[in-house]
Amino acid sequence: MTQSNVCLFSRRNLLICSLGSSFSSALFAQRNYPDRPIKAIIPNSPGSSVDTIGRLVMNEVSKLIGQPLVIDNRAGAAGAIGVEATRSALADGYSVLIGSSSAVSVAPFLQKAVTYQPLRDFDLIALVALLPNVLVCHPSLPVNSVTQFLAYARNKNGDTKMASAGLGSVSHLAGAALQVAGGFESLHVPYRGGSQGVASVVSGETDWVLTPAPAAMSLVAGKRLKLLGHSLAPAHHPLGNTPSIGSELTGFEFASWIDLMGPTGMPASVVSLLNKTVGQALQSPSLAKALETHGAIVKSSTPEEFRTYLTKDLDTTRRAVQAANVKPE
């Protein structure tokens, strides 16, 4: 064998050994995952509903998984900054996103600068919680059910006023979706934030709003708003005996949600471990009770169930954006 052949042979063996060593290291890392803290990106500011609920859930996950979970708040651009940061992270399971419907489903339809596609650019780990919206109206309206409200609004021929937290907000899109499904029209009156929109219904400046539950329930308890229904599917009972809108308007559902996801390309074993750990954490009665105090209910899922849910939610959001006639900016 010539000297040049020996050199070629040696280099080839070195390359094979190097590749084999890398492959073995990757397998070892997966088998021992996690062996260091995991960063959980939250695309909202501290103290928000997503942040509060995300921290509660990930605290339970941390106990079960045996590693700290470091919260990294990346607020801005309606959540898009945090989602984008997750997309560009290493897909090794040490950077995950505590996402929300606003950041994951809504932002791509409303912001021209958003280029991520949720079903393409992320590995879906699990749904975590659902947050119902509630249909509330001014106490003077002569209605006491969703059915009566729909009949009243139709008879008014557009002479009712719907409040919202602003153009493209959850309350705007949910209200637009309700109008399409219910076959009526209302004048949209946008405000600078959810509290102002709800306050306008209390004062009688507007007639109704379909808003996240935490923004309205204390006012319902004080009889300053009339509660007609919630926006989750009929199978869910987040507010005691309060009926779902869908039980009287078949098929209607417009929930906000919180999830766990990561950059696409994560090892399947890591996705599976995180999914099972989240599912186990959500079985904690104390966690379920804590979520309930924040107007949320536990909603665990497999990755496949989450994909089916998100596919439907993206379609619902697209149709709501079209109905609301909101253009991307």
* Structure-token pair, residue 280: 């186990």
Bridge partners of 209, per DSSP, are 136
Pairing status of strand 38-42 against strand 208-212: unpaired
Buried-state track 162-178, b at ≥16 Cβ within 10 A, e below 16:
bbbbeebbbbbbbbbbb
Q: How far apart are CA 7 and CA 35, in angstroms?
A: 39
Judge if 37-130+256-324 and 133-247 fold alike in CATH terms: yes
Q: How far apart are CA 163 and CA 278, in angstroms?
A: 36
| Residue 285: band (very low, low, confident or very high) from pLDDT cuts 50, 70, 90 | very high
- Predicted confidence (pLDDT) per residue in 72-123, tens digit: 999 988 899 999 999 999 999 999 999 999 999 999 999 999 999 999 999 9
Max mean pLDDT range (23-27, 78-82, 182-186): 182-186
Looking at the predicted structure, is the pLDDT value of residue 23 above 70? no
Q: How far apart are CA 70 and CA 61, in angstroms?
A: 12
- Predicted confidence (pLDDT) per residue in 160-177, tens digit: 999 999 888 889 999 999
Listed residue (291, 323, 293, 307) closest to 122, CA to CA: 307
Whole-structure pTM value: 0.80
* Structure-token pair, residue 197: 């929109």
Delimit the domains of the chain by residue range.
37-130+256-324, 133-247
Query: What's the pLDDT at 4?
Result: 45
Please report, in angstroms and rounded to a whole number, the separation of the first and last CA atoms in the chain: 69
- CATH homologous superfamily of domain 37-130+256-324? Bordetella uptake gene, domain 1 (3.40.190.150)
3-state secondary structure of 137: strand
What is the average per-residue pLDDT within 302-317?
96
Task: For 1-38, give the DSSP string.
Answer: --HHHHHHHHHHHHHHHHHHHHHHHHHHHHHT--SS-E
Looking at the predicted structure, is the pLDDT value of residue 197 above 60? yes
Q: How far apart are CA 207 and CA 101, in angstroms?
A: 26
Size (the chain), residues: 329
CATH class of 133-247: alpha beta
Report CA-CA distances (Å) from 230 to 92, 188, 226.
39, 20, 12
Report CA-CA distances (Å) from 137 to 56, 100, 250.
32, 26, 21
Q: How far apart are CA 86 and CA 5, in angstroms?
A: 47
